[in-house]
Amino acid sequence: MSILILDEVSKVYEGKVAHLAVNQLSFEVEKGEFLAIMGPSGSGKTTLLNMISTIDTPTSGELFIDGTNPINLTKNDLALFRRRHLGFVFQDFNLLPALTVEENMILPLTLDGQPVETMKRKVAILAEQLDLTPILDKRPAEISGGQAQRTAIGRALIHEPSIILADEPTGNLDSKAARDVLELLTEVNKRRQTTIIMVTHDAIAASYCDRVLFIKDGQYFNEIYKDDRRQTFFQRILNLLSLLGGNVNDLSTIRLS
Protein backbone atom coordinates (compact mmCIF):
# COMPACT_ATOMS: atom_id res chain seq x y z
CA MET A 1 0.00 0.00 0.00
CA SER A 2 1.31 3.44 -0.91
CA ILE A 3 1.34 5.94 1.92
CA LEU A 4 2.51 8.72 -0.40
CA ILE A 5 1.62 9.24 -4.04
CA LEU A 6 2.97 12.01 -6.26
CA ASP A 7 1.36 12.29 -9.66
CA GLU A 8 3.05 14.60 -12.16
CA VAL A 9 3.86 17.15 -9.45
CA SER A 10 5.45 20.41 -10.59
CA LYS A 11 6.45 23.53 -8.69
CA VAL A 12 7.07 26.86 -10.36
CA TYR A 13 8.53 29.75 -8.36
CA GLU A 14 7.17 32.93 -9.88
CA GLY A 15 9.51 35.87 -10.10
CA LYS A 16 11.08 38.14 -12.70
CA VAL A 17 11.90 34.87 -14.40
CA ALA A 18 9.67 31.91 -13.52
CA HIS A 19 11.69 28.97 -12.24
CA LEU A 20 10.58 25.35 -12.62
CA ALA A 21 12.02 23.81 -9.44
CA VAL A 22 10.16 20.47 -9.62
CA ASN A 23 9.17 19.15 -13.03
CA GLN A 24 6.38 16.57 -13.44
CA LEU A 25 7.65 14.25 -10.77
CA SER A 26 5.75 11.01 -10.14
CA PHE A 27 6.60 8.37 -7.56
CA GLU A 28 5.05 6.39 -4.73
CA VAL A 29 6.29 5.45 -1.28
CA GLU A 30 5.17 2.26 0.42
CA LYS A 31 4.03 2.22 4.01
CA GLY A 32 7.02 1.32 6.19
CA GLU A 33 9.60 2.21 3.55
CA PHE A 34 12.82 4.08 4.37
CA LEU A 35 13.48 6.26 1.32
CA ALA A 36 16.42 8.53 0.60
CA ILE A 37 16.18 11.37 -1.90
CA MET A 38 19.43 12.52 -3.47
CA GLY A 39 20.32 15.06 -6.13
CA PRO A 40 22.76 17.89 -6.78
CA SER A 41 22.38 21.18 -4.97
CA GLY A 42 19.48 23.14 -6.50
CA SER A 43 17.82 20.02 -7.95
CA GLY A 44 14.58 20.64 -6.02
CA LYS A 45 14.95 18.34 -3.00
CA THR A 46 13.87 20.86 -0.37
CA THR A 47 11.05 22.12 -2.60
CA LEU A 48 9.86 18.53 -2.94
CA LEU A 49 10.06 17.90 0.80
CA ASN A 50 8.16 21.13 1.52
CA MET A 51 5.31 19.96 -0.71
CA ILE A 52 5.22 16.54 0.98
CA SER A 53 5.32 18.40 4.31
CA THR A 54 2.19 20.33 3.22
CA ILE A 55 4.11 23.54 3.94
CA ASP A 56 4.03 24.35 0.22
CA THR A 57 1.58 23.37 -2.54
CA PRO A 58 2.29 22.04 -6.04
CA THR A 59 1.70 24.40 -8.99
CA SER A 60 0.28 21.42 -10.87
CA GLY A 61 -0.15 17.71 -10.35
CA GLU A 62 -1.50 15.88 -7.35
CA LEU A 63 -0.12 14.60 -4.08
CA PHE A 64 -1.80 12.18 -1.65
CA ILE A 65 -0.69 11.42 1.89
CA ASP A 66 -2.47 8.49 3.50
CA GLY A 67 -5.15 8.90 0.82
CA THR A 68 -5.70 12.60 1.51
CA ASN A 69 -4.88 15.42 -0.88
CA PRO A 70 -3.87 18.19 1.55
CA ILE A 71 -5.10 20.97 -0.73
CA ASN A 72 -8.66 19.81 0.03
CA LEU A 73 -8.24 20.56 3.76
CA THR A 74 -9.11 23.81 5.48
CA LYS A 75 -6.30 25.67 7.20
CA ASN A 76 -7.23 24.26 10.62
CA ASP A 77 -7.67 20.72 9.37
CA LEU A 78 -4.36 20.97 7.57
CA ALA A 79 -2.54 21.98 10.77
CA LEU A 80 -4.16 19.05 12.56
CA PHE A 81 -3.41 16.68 9.68
CA ARG A 82 0.23 17.72 9.71
CA ARG A 83 0.53 17.20 13.47
CA ARG A 84 -1.17 13.80 13.35
CA HIS A 85 0.45 12.33 10.23
CA LEU A 86 3.85 13.93 9.87
CA GLY A 87 6.99 14.28 11.97
CA PHE A 88 9.84 16.60 11.02
CA VAL A 89 13.58 16.35 11.57
CA PHE A 90 15.88 19.11 10.36
CA GLN A 91 19.60 19.56 9.80
CA ASP A 92 19.91 22.18 12.56
CA PHE A 93 17.64 20.31 15.05
CA ASN A 94 15.23 23.29 15.53
CA LEU A 95 14.95 22.79 19.28
CA LEU A 96 13.66 25.63 21.47
CA PRO A 97 16.68 26.78 23.52
CA ALA A 98 14.69 27.87 26.58
CA LEU A 99 13.03 24.47 26.98
CA THR A 100 14.54 21.29 28.42
CA VAL A 101 14.98 18.11 26.38
CA GLU A 102 11.80 16.75 27.96
CA GLU A 103 9.83 19.94 27.27
CA ASN A 104 11.03 20.01 23.66
CA MET A 105 9.84 16.44 23.16
CA ILE A 106 6.48 17.15 24.80
CA LEU A 107 5.83 20.34 22.85
CA PRO A 108 3.61 18.81 20.11
CA LEU A 109 1.44 17.16 22.79
CA THR A 110 1.16 20.43 24.71
CA LEU A 111 -0.20 22.00 21.53
CA ASP A 112 -2.80 19.23 21.45
CA GLY A 113 -3.81 19.85 25.07
CA GLN A 114 -3.15 16.29 26.27
CA PRO A 115 -3.21 15.51 30.03
CA VAL A 116 0.15 15.96 31.80
CA GLU A 117 0.21 12.34 32.99
CA THR A 118 -0.20 11.01 29.42
CA MET A 119 2.59 13.26 28.20
CA LYS A 120 4.97 12.25 30.99
CA ARG A 121 4.36 8.57 30.32
CA LYS A 122 4.95 8.91 26.57
CA VAL A 123 8.14 10.88 27.07
CA ALA A 124 9.51 8.40 29.61
CA ILE A 125 9.07 5.46 27.19
CA LEU A 126 10.49 7.35 24.24
CA ALA A 127 13.44 8.74 26.23
CA GLU A 128 14.46 5.19 27.17
CA GLN A 129 14.47 4.14 23.51
CA LEU A 130 16.40 7.22 22.45
CA ASP A 131 18.89 6.99 25.30
CA LEU A 132 17.87 10.44 26.58
CA THR A 133 16.65 9.56 30.08
CA PRO A 134 19.73 10.94 31.91
CA ILE A 135 19.56 14.30 30.13
CA LEU A 136 15.83 15.04 30.14
CA ASP A 137 16.33 18.12 32.34
CA LYS A 138 19.14 19.62 30.27
CA ARG A 139 18.71 22.44 27.78
CA PRO A 140 19.86 22.28 24.13
CA ALA A 141 23.00 24.35 24.83
CA GLU A 142 24.15 21.75 27.37
CA ILE A 143 23.95 18.65 25.13
CA SER A 144 25.86 17.30 22.12
CA GLY A 145 24.72 17.51 18.50
CA GLY A 146 23.87 13.81 18.47
CA GLN A 147 21.79 14.18 21.63
CA ALA A 148 20.06 17.24 20.16
CA GLN A 149 19.14 15.32 17.01
CA ARG A 150 17.87 12.39 19.07
CA THR A 151 15.72 14.88 21.03
CA ALA A 152 14.38 16.21 17.73
CA ILE A 153 13.61 12.65 16.62
CA GLY A 154 11.79 12.15 19.93
CA ARG A 155 9.75 15.28 19.30
CA ALA A 156 8.93 14.02 15.80
CA LEU A 157 7.90 10.60 17.15
CA ILE A 158 5.83 11.66 20.15
CA HIS A 159 2.66 11.78 18.04
CA GLU A 160 3.41 8.43 16.42
CA PRO A 161 3.26 9.95 12.93
CA SER A 162 2.89 7.72 9.87
CA ILE A 163 5.66 9.56 8.03
CA ILE A 164 8.88 11.18 9.22
CA LEU A 165 10.35 13.78 6.87
CA ALA A 166 14.01 14.52 7.40
CA ASP A 167 16.03 17.15 5.51
CA GLU A 168 19.76 16.38 5.91
CA PRO A 169 19.33 15.04 9.48
CA THR A 170 23.02 14.14 9.75
CA GLY A 171 24.33 17.26 8.01
CA ASN A 172 25.57 18.87 11.24
CA LEU A 173 26.84 15.75 13.01
CA ASP A 174 30.24 14.11 13.26
CA SER A 175 30.46 10.63 11.79
CA LYS A 176 29.90 8.77 15.06
CA ALA A 177 26.82 10.84 15.99
CA ALA A 178 25.57 10.53 12.40
CA ARG A 179 25.83 6.75 12.58
CA ASP A 180 23.93 6.69 15.88
CA VAL A 181 21.14 8.81 14.38
CA LEU A 182 20.95 6.63 11.25
CA GLU A 183 20.85 3.45 13.32
CA LEU A 184 18.11 5.00 15.43
CA LEU A 185 16.07 5.98 12.37
CA THR A 186 16.50 2.45 10.99
CA GLU A 187 15.28 0.99 14.28
CA VAL A 188 12.27 3.33 14.38
CA ASN A 189 11.49 2.39 10.78
CA LYS A 190 11.68 -1.35 11.46
CA ARG A 191 10.08 -1.44 14.89
CA ARG A 192 7.27 1.04 14.43
CA GLN A 193 6.78 0.66 10.68
CA THR A 194 7.17 4.43 10.45
CA THR A 195 7.74 5.51 6.87
CA ILE A 196 10.82 7.73 6.61
CA ILE A 197 11.69 10.06 3.75
CA MET A 198 15.16 11.52 4.12
CA VAL A 199 16.89 14.05 1.91
CA THR A 200 20.65 13.64 2.08
CA HIS A 201 23.76 14.26 0.03
CA ASP A 202 25.70 11.73 2.07
CA ALA A 203 26.02 8.35 0.35
CA ILE A 204 26.74 6.65 3.67
CA ALA A 205 23.49 7.99 5.13
CA ALA A 206 21.59 6.91 2.01
CA SER A 207 23.05 3.39 2.28
CA TYR A 208 20.93 2.82 5.42
CA CYS A 209 17.73 3.18 3.35
CA ASP A 210 15.61 0.67 1.43
CA ARG A 211 15.65 2.75 -1.75
CA VAL A 212 17.36 5.85 -3.09
CA LEU A 213 15.53 8.14 -5.48
CA PHE A 214 17.76 10.44 -7.55
CA ILE A 215 16.48 13.69 -8.96
CA LYS A 216 18.15 16.14 -11.31
CA ASP A 217 16.87 19.56 -12.40
CA GLY A 218 13.62 18.79 -10.58
CA GLN A 219 13.05 15.64 -12.61
CA TYR A 220 13.16 11.94 -11.90
CA PHE A 221 16.62 10.62 -12.78
CA ASN A 222 16.84 7.08 -11.42
CA GLU A 223 16.24 4.92 -8.36
CA ILE A 224 17.96 1.93 -6.81
CA TYR A 225 16.99 -0.58 -4.12
CA LYS A 226 19.23 -1.87 -1.37
CA ASP A 227 20.80 -5.29 -1.50
CA ASP A 228 22.10 -7.64 1.17
CA ARG A 229 25.29 -5.74 1.89
CA ARG A 230 25.38 -2.10 2.78
CA GLN A 231 28.90 -1.80 1.35
CA THR A 232 27.79 -2.78 -2.17
CA PHE A 233 24.66 -0.63 -1.93
CA PHE A 234 26.91 2.26 -0.91
CA GLN A 235 29.11 1.63 -3.99
CA ARG A 236 26.07 1.58 -6.29
CA ILE A 237 24.89 4.86 -4.75
CA LEU A 238 28.31 6.41 -5.43
CA ASN A 239 28.21 5.15 -9.02
CA LEU A 240 24.85 6.78 -9.59
CA LEU A 241 25.99 10.01 -7.98
CA SER A 242 28.89 10.16 -10.40
CA LEU A 243 26.48 9.68 -13.32
CA LEU A 244 24.39 12.47 -11.83
CA GLY A 245 27.36 14.83 -11.78
CA GLY A 246 28.52 16.92 -8.86
CA ASN A 247 28.33 15.92 -5.23
CA VAL A 248 30.83 13.09 -5.32
CA ASN A 249 33.90 13.97 -3.38
CA ASP A 250 36.70 11.51 -3.03
CA LEU A 251 34.51 8.96 -1.35
CA SER A 252 34.92 6.08 -3.73
CA THR A 253 37.57 4.34 -1.64
CA ILE A 254 35.88 4.76 1.71
CA ARG A 255 34.85 1.57 3.43
CA LEU A 256 31.86 1.48 5.70
CA SER A 257 32.52 0.42 9.24
**Site track 40-69 with Mg ion (rule: CB under 5 A), x = hit:** -----xx-----------------------
97 binds, among ligand ADP, Mg ion, none (CB under 5 to 8 A by kind): none
Rule CB under 6 A: choose which of 23, 25, 29, 47 binds ligand ADP: 47
Shortest CA distance to 159 belongs to which of 87, 104, 96, 68? 87
Nearer to ligand ADP, 46 or 239 (CB): 46
Judged by CB under 6 A, the number of residues near ligand ADP is 12
Query: Distance between CA atoms of 148 and 140, rounded to whole angstroms?
Result: 6
| Rama region for 167: left / alpha / beta (φ>0; ψ in -120 to 50; rest) | beta
What Cα–Cα distance (Å) separates residue 176 from each residue in 13, 40, 89, 118, 170? 38, 25, 18, 33, 10
Rule CB under 6 A: choose which of 24, 46, 129, 186 binds ligand ADP: 46
Q: Among the candidate windows 39-47, 71-79, 230-238, 249-257, which touches ligand ADP by CB under 6 A?
A: 39-47
Nearer to Mg ion, 53 or 147 (CB): 53
Strand bridging mode 2-13 / 19-30: antiparallel
Query: Distance between CA atoms of 146 and 132, rounded to whole angstroms?
Result: 11
**Whether the Cβ atoms of residue 55 and residue 88 lie closer than 8 Å to each other:** no
Torsion of CA 126, 130, 135, 140, to 10 degrees: -100
Query: Distance between CA atoms of 245 and 230, rounded to whole angstroms?
Result: 22
As measured in angstroms, the least distance from the Cβ of 231 to Mg ion is 27
**Is 45 among the residues that bind ligand ADP (CB under 6 A)?**
yes
**Is 19 among the residues that bind ligand ADP (CB under 6 A)?**
yes
**Is 201 among the residues that bind ligand ADP (CB under 6 A)?**
no
39 binds, among ligand ADP, Mg ion, none (CB under 5 to 8 A by kind): ligand ADP
Instruction: List residues binding Mg ion (CB under 5 A).
Output: 45-46
Instruction: List residues binding ligand ADP (CB under 6 A).
Output: 13, 15, 19, 21, 39, 41-47
